[in-house]
Chains A and B, each alone.
Chain A
Amino acid sequence: MSTQTVSRSRVDIPALLAWFIVALVVVGLFCPIFRPDFRVMDVPRLSLCLVILAIAAVRYELGFMRNRFGDLMLGVVTAVAAWLLIGTVSNHPGDAALGFWALTVAAWASAWLFVERLASWKSASKTTERLINLVIPALFGLTLLVLWQIIVTGAGIPKVLLPAPSEIWLRLINSVPTLWADFRQTFLKAVLAGYAIGCGSAFLTAILVDRVPFLRRGLLPIGNLVSALPIIGVAPIMVMWFGFDWPSKAAVVIIMTFFPMLVNTVAGLSASDSMQRDLMRTYASGYWQTLVKLRLPMAMPFIFNALKINSTLALIGAIVAEFFGTPTVGMGFRISTEVGRMNVDMVWAEIAVAAVAGSLFYGLVAVIERKVTFWHASVRG
């Protein structure tokens, strides 16, 4: 009890949210839900929606079932409400009125309340904690998608401006072969090859720069200059040099990824402190031994920083580079042609693929980073 009074002395967000939901449900009860015509079947569905949301909120306020089971029930109720809202609004596209929006906001608030409750689960076991840390961002993304779906259909936003997630999903599953071919062309060929060559050669250059000090003054400014070149200017030139197919895109990716990797590796190689280097000196350790046993491990956090930055830069570079001439396949190519044909859902499907691929790529690098730099203060926690 005493801990509760402490937390109540500040703003009690869950309580505020619960009252907010109740208030919105009252608004939803007394305002028109859809504008011109109102079908009979919508009455029971929406009233059900109203009732469960109200119960969910009031239950929390009354302190009834304020435990994990109650929290899970709240999650289920929120999901059902969201599903009902999506279902009814698809029958009345563009006709949503004040009452409907109030219910939408109420559903959103109860999703928030659910996440708020989840975050407060203090669990003993590490795996549940890790699970919760995964579930919370997933719920966040899901809420965004649901809101997107409801708002786009409810307000009747034209498809060319912004298609609903359901339409994008339909397009996505109906064009898997095209999307796969584009993915293979852009990601598996251009991005991966360019990333590997760009990061690898930058790493070797960094060691060269480190070994031969005068290069530092000569090469670093040139690297800086190259990285400042606008991709829009470089891409057509690379197409002229290396042809229409993926090697020219890989070349653009190399140019984009080279400099961040070079600068970070050079900085990382001087990250060891003087006592650590003195220690190696007292062992009469040679340049390569010191490099392998001290300076490279110390540089790893910097190197992985560059690898993470580059994982997203590489994808952007390859896609944009395809705007300047490709064979008739590739994610960038597809985006530019489908925009011209007003097939916006296909553009969004490509964007979704790119977002997922980019996140997974980044995530993979981040996982390897945690394994390699487990000893670093920022990881060992």
Chain B
Amino acid sequence: MTSLAGAKDTEMVEKHTGASPDRVIDIEKLSLTFETGDGPVHALSDIDLKIEQGDFVSFIGPSGCGKTTLLRVIADLEKPTAGKITVNGVSPEEARLNRAYGYVFQAAALYSWRTIASNVALPLEIMRLSRSERQERVARNLELVNLSGFEQKYPWQLSGGMQQRASIARALAVEPDLLLMDEPFGALDEIVRDHLNEQLLQLWAKTSKTVAFVTHSIPEAVFLSTKIVVLCPRPGRIYDVIESDLPRERSLDIRETPEFLRIAHRVREGLKAGHSYED
């Protein structure tokens, strides 16, 4: 399996050799229990999930159902208590050390002593990229999230939504093949959100990135994804996996089509069922 680590575009590797070469994330019977002061919390239970190269997977579910925890397990920020997980065919830790992914946190987590530009440059400094390369990537990604002109501002001089956009630019600047995004657009207004959704979709279509995306918005999930994972809480587990047959090239108008509404309906049903577990 490890021999396939860097071979994401080796076409000659047969699909049946264990893991598929295109398999970015492979989760089997994964569980995670937090031991807290007042008893164990079953954040994740018996998760089985496969994500292929180029997938756009959305996770949706009621608050506290383990979406963030699942993303953190993939990013090696949390260790599962049972089950198996591989990222790019290797353990999450190895994948993290290979800088295989970019992570957008639920909050912006910018460093307040750095300007916006140097916040975006932070991962690039750690990767020891050259100065010119850093400058080029910072400019390009700030442009992408519409923050050109704010390079020399400090995070505390920006609105919450602008901070969140800067943190997205920071994750994109790493140019990872795998993007883990935890409610990245939660703090933004509808229009900006639509705009960034389109930008993200374009970027994804252009670069064949794999995206794992947490959201609370059904239209956002349906609009963006090739696969929608509906989770339900207590214990956090997968309730439904919906493969979307919408075309890869989409515009915002697609939200009016019957197929779109059909998928949205199915997601809503799943969410309702998830919520009913809470009572």
State the total of A-B contacts with C-beta under 8 angstroms.
Answer: 51
Find chain B residues with CB under 8 A from A373 CB: 113
Contact among A283, A297, A376 for B123, CB-based, below 8 A: A283
Q: Complex formed: what's the CA distance from A294 to B110 in Å?
A: 11
6 contacts between A and B (CB under 8 A): A276-B111, A279-B109, A283-B127, A284-B99, A375-B112, A375-B113
Tell yes or no: B259 within 8 A of A by CB: no
Tell yes or no: B136 within 8 A of A by CB: no
Q: Are A279 and B105 in contact (CB under 8 A)?
A: yes
Question: How close is B70's CB to chain A, nearest CB, in angstroms?
Answer: 15
Interface residue range, chain B? 20 to 34
Tell yes or no: B7 within 8 A of A by CB: no
Q: Complex formed: what's the CA distance from A191 to B177 in Å?
A: 57
Main secondary structure of the interface of A (DSSP, over half): helix
Find chain A residues with CB under 8 A from B126 CB: 280, 283-285, 289, 293
Tell yes or no: A275 within 8 A of B by CB: yes
Find chain B residues with CB under 8 A from A282 CB: 75, 77, 96, 101-103
Chain A residues in the interface with B (C-beta under 8 A): 275-276, 278-285, 289, 293-294, 297, 373-377, 380
Q: Complex formed: what's the CA distance from A380 to B156 in Å?
A: 9
**Those 10 A-B pairs whose CB atoms lie nearest each other, nearest first:** A375-B113, A375-B112, A282-B103, A283-B123, A275-B109, A283-B126, A285-B126, A284-B97, A297-B113, A278-B77
Main secondary structure of the interface of B (DSSP, over half): loop
Q: Are B154 and A375 in contact (CB under 8 A)?
A: yes
Chain B residues in the interface with A (C-beta under 8 A): 72, 75-77, 96-99, 101-103, 105, 107, 109, 111-113, 122-123, 125-127, 154, 156, 174
Q: A281-B76, A282-B102, A283-B122 are in contact. List 19 more A-B contacts (CB 8 A).
A: A278-B77, A278-B103, A279-B103, A281-B96, A282-B75, A282-B77, A282-B103, A283-B99, A283-B126, A284-B97, A284-B99, A289-B126, A293-B122, A293-B125, A293-B126, A297-B111, A297-B113, A375-B156, A380-B156
A300 and chain B: residue at smallest CB distance: B113
Find chain B residues with CB under 8 A from A297 CB: 111, 113
Q: Complex formed: what's the CA distance from A287 to B262 in Å?
A: 50
A289 and chain B: residue at smallest CB distance: B126
Question: How close is B187's CB to chain A, nearest CB, in angstroms?
Answer: 15
Find chain B residues with CB under 8 A from A377 CB: 156
Find chain A residues with CB under 8 A from B96 CB: 281-282, 284
Q: Are B125 and A275 in contact (CB under 8 A)?
A: no
Q: Complex formed: what's the CA distance from A329 to B71 in Å?
A: 68
Question: How close is B225's CB to chain A, nearest CB, in angstroms?
Answer: 23
Find chain A residues with CB under 8 A from B109 CB: 275-276, 279
Q: Complex formed: what's the CA distance from A280 to B72 in Å?
A: 14
Q: Complex formed: what's the CA distance from A200 to B169 in Å?
A: 38
Question: How close is A380's CB to chain B, nearest CB, in angstroms?
Answer: 7
Find chain B residues with CB under 8 A from A375 CB: 112-113, 154, 156
Question: How close is A1's CB to chain B, nearest CB, in angstroms?
Answer: 38
Find chain B residues with CB under 8 A from A376 CB: 112
Find chain B residues with CB under 8 A from A285 CB: 126
A281 and chain B: residue at smallest CB distance: B77
Q: Complex formed: what's the CA distance from A63 to B117 in Å?
A: 55
Question: How close is B113's CB to chain A, nearest CB, in angstroms?
Answer: 4
Find chain B residues with CB under 8 A from A294 CB: 111
Q: Are A278 and B112 in contact (CB under 8 A)?
A: no
Q: Complex formed: what's the CA distance from A51 to B154 in Å?
A: 57
B100 and chain A: residue at smallest CB distance: A284
Q: Complex formed: what's the CA distance from A161 to B33 in Å?
A: 73
Question: How close is A92's CB to chain B, nearest CB, in angstroms?
Answer: 61
Question: How close is B119's CB to chain A, nearest CB, in angstroms?
Answer: 10
Q: Complex formed: what's the CA distance from A4 to B72 in Å?
A: 59
Find chain A residues with CB under 8 A from B174 CB: 283
Q: Complex formed: what's the CA distance from A279 to B77 in Å?
A: 9
Specify which of A281, A282, A293 lies most central, judged by the most chain B CB atoms within 10 Å of its CB. Answer: A282
Find chain A residues with CB under 8 A from B77 CB: 278, 281-282
Find chain A residues with CB under 8 A from B113 CB: 297, 373-375
Find chain A residues with CB under 8 A from B156 CB: 375, 377, 380
